[in-house]
Amino acid sequence: MKVIEVNNLVKKYNDFTAVNNINFSVDEGEVFGFLGPNGAGKSTTIKILSTLLTLTSGKAYLNGYDVQKEPNKVRSSIGLVFQETTLDERLTAKENLVFHAMLYGIPKKIYQKRLQQVLEIVELTDRVDTLVKTFSGGMKRRLEIARGLLHYPKVIFLDEPTVGLDLQTRSRIWEYIHQLRKTEGVTIFLTTHYMDEAENCNRIAIIDNGKIVALNTPEKLKERVSGDIVTMASADNNRLYKRLINEFGLEAEMIKDGVQVETAKGETFIPQLISKLPNEITYISLRKPTLNDVFLKLTGREIREELLDGKEIMRARLGRRSRFK
Amino acid sequence: MRAIQGIYVIWLRDIIRFFREKPRIIGMIGQPLLYLTIMGTGLASTLRPVQLPAGFDYIDFMYPGIICMSVLFTSVFSAVSIVWDREFGFLKEVLVAPVPRWSVALGKALGGSTISMIQATILLVIAPFIGLKLTFLALIKLWLILFLISFALTSFGIIIASRMETMQGFQVIMNFIIMPMFFLSGAIFPLKGVPGWMEILMRLDPLTYGVDAIRNIFFAGTPAYESMVTFSLTQDLTVIGVMGVVFIILATWSFNYAK
């Protein structure tokens, strides 16, 4: 069953198009990722799917409900964990959870049991009566995930779930997410601009400038990069670049501090190259492709905030300003 | 059913948070007492209103006004906490919950009213100390009136808060809407005898009718009635009632379209 279906979705802010005619669907029980730089349209899409924003044109269905026409049914079917905290810091962890349960119409008998369950999953049982303002960033995020699960949503949206958290906490949160999927069968829809995180997904949509530029499994996406990535440098990178193209017919690419080529078999390619270019190469490295390489290949850019141009910064800002509807 | 749950949760949250913020409780009791003791005593000794019969002084006149002032400030401030909730993110949690938006607005209006009523009740305790009689029946009447006033004012605050992006605008609202509402309400000087233009403004200020309604209860049947009260209780209640209905409708409506 398709738990999310999006057809020709468009979202415009005045004459600026944040989401440009995208189509995709998500199966039940899937971990689906949206990968792209800030301002690519990830958060806007999530906000439309979670009824926080209205769409300009197109159709979006969640759990079979039209997000425009049946917002309350959609809201009952989803759990949300936003980039920034939406907990009430002046209430205790338990009060935050109980209020959530009440807002979602869960009877007391049921929520008391579930409260224990979700708190165990995120290991916050012993902090249940503590004010949230005393929690660390990681604890708040865990509590938010617990709260998002309390009403047994069909889909849980995680908007940059681990941004600003240390590595250890990040991997713990991923453990929780995988556990949830196993035990609760919940569909997980997440956005990220961390490549390594996106590899946890069953399928990934790469989104750039409001469009989906690729949608596939992480393995299939990585196949788009034809083989291994060899990065090298010389005293004159420009000369090296030209020689690689002219003498070897390689599709070389200039990168920061060097030149990069893709090759089918890196291990045999490197000795050959070095023997044919004596005294040219000062540095060489070989690595397997990551999703960052895929993104680079598809969009010609790396996913890094500093690479945003003016238009994209504006896009990011617009997305931020329209956080609430 | 969902709607009632929504109203209850929003209301309960306001009450829990109120009792946790000790400085706020002290401030909201202390401020009106300061007004009453310092400003009241000071003005009473210089102004000496001639038309007041023996046994009544300026503090008696000002006291109902100060109750209204604290209700005004507390109600509006409670409602404006929506802006904090927006800045700190909690508002989003409420907006994606499967409860109708109007129930959130109504819960907020009831929460603010409850807190205002608690404060007003504490202020009513000092009535006997300044020489005003307070019967049980009068207390019930006052509670009903105060509830109407605070409900209308919290709803008014929600209308403002739905349009406010950040807390920075609050100072402007305070200086140009809330303070004039208080000054023109007849809380510290009577409507009789002011210049014509000001009387018009005072008659337009909805809070004027709230202050007058409370004076209506306190001074009913006393020799000071004529000099203390401007309108009849029916007039006052009609204005406050209409104000409550109009403001809550506008509040839910603007909350629905709030960003």
Confidence category of residue B148, pLDDT binned at 50, 70, 90:
very high
Confidence category of residue A27, pLDDT binned at 50, 70, 90:
very high
Per-residue tokens: A167: 């590595």
Confidence category of residue A151, pLDDT binned at 50, 70, 90:
confident
- For residue B29, CA distances in Å to A24, B58, B65, B71, B117 come to 58, 21, 15, 11, 12
* Residue A233 pLDDT exceeds 70: yes
Shortest distance between the Cα of A200 and any Cα of chain B, in A, equals 27
Confidence category of residue B158, pLDDT binned at 50, 70, 90:
very high
**More confident site: B22 or A61:** A61
Predicted pLDDT of residue A294: 81
Q: Taking residues A126-142, what's their average pLDDT? A: 91
Q: Taking residues A246-272, what's their average pLDDT? A: 84
Predicted pLDDT of residue A93: 95
CB contact under 8 A, B89 and A102: no
Shortest distance between the Cα of B256 and any Cα of chain A, in A, equals 9
Q: pLDDT tens digit string along B67-87?
A: 999 999 999 999 988 988 888
B97 contacts on A by Cβ (under 8 Å): 75, 100, 103-104
| Count of structural domains, chain B | 1
Q: pLDDT tens digit string along A78-104?
A: 998 887 889 999 999 999 999 999 999
Q: Which candidate from A84, A103, A324 shows the least CB-CB separation from B9?
A: A103
Q: Which candidate from B17, B88, B99 shows the least CB-CB separation from A103?
A: B99
* Residue A310 pLDDT exceeds 70: no
Q: pLDDT tens digit string along B104-128?
A: 999 999 999 999 999 999 999 888 8
Percent of chain A with pLDDT over 90: 31
Q: A157 in helix, strand or coil?
A: strand
Beta strands A228-234 and A253-255: pairing type?
unpaired
Q: What is the DSSP string of B204-243?
A: H-HHHHHHHHHHHHHTTTSTTHHHH--S-HHHHHHHHHHH
Element (H, E) at A261: strand A258-263
Q: List for chain A the helix, strand, coil content (%; round to 5).
A: 40, 25, 30
CB contact under 8 A, A323 and B94: no
Predicted pLDDT of residue B225: 86
Confidence category of residue A325, pLDDT binned at 50, 70, 90:
very low
**More confident site: A21 or A39:** A21
What is the span of the domain harbouring residue B212? Answer: 2-256
Element (H, E) at A289: none
Q: pLDDT tens digit string along B179-194?
A: 999 999 999 888 888 8
* Residue A308 pLDDT exceeds 60: no
Q: How far apart are alpha carbons A245 and A68 in whole angstroms? A: 53
Predicted pLDDT of residue B210: 95
Per-residue tokens: B76: 């509006």
| φ, ψ at B89 (rounded to 5°) | 95, -20
Confidence category of residue A107, pLDDT binned at 50, 70, 90:
very high
Shortest distance between the Cα of B259 and any Cα of chain A, in A, equals 4
Q: Which candidate from A50, A104, A324 shows the least CB-CB separation from B259?
A: A324
Task: Identify the top-confidence range among A140-144, A269-273, B172-176, B199-203.
Answer: B199-203
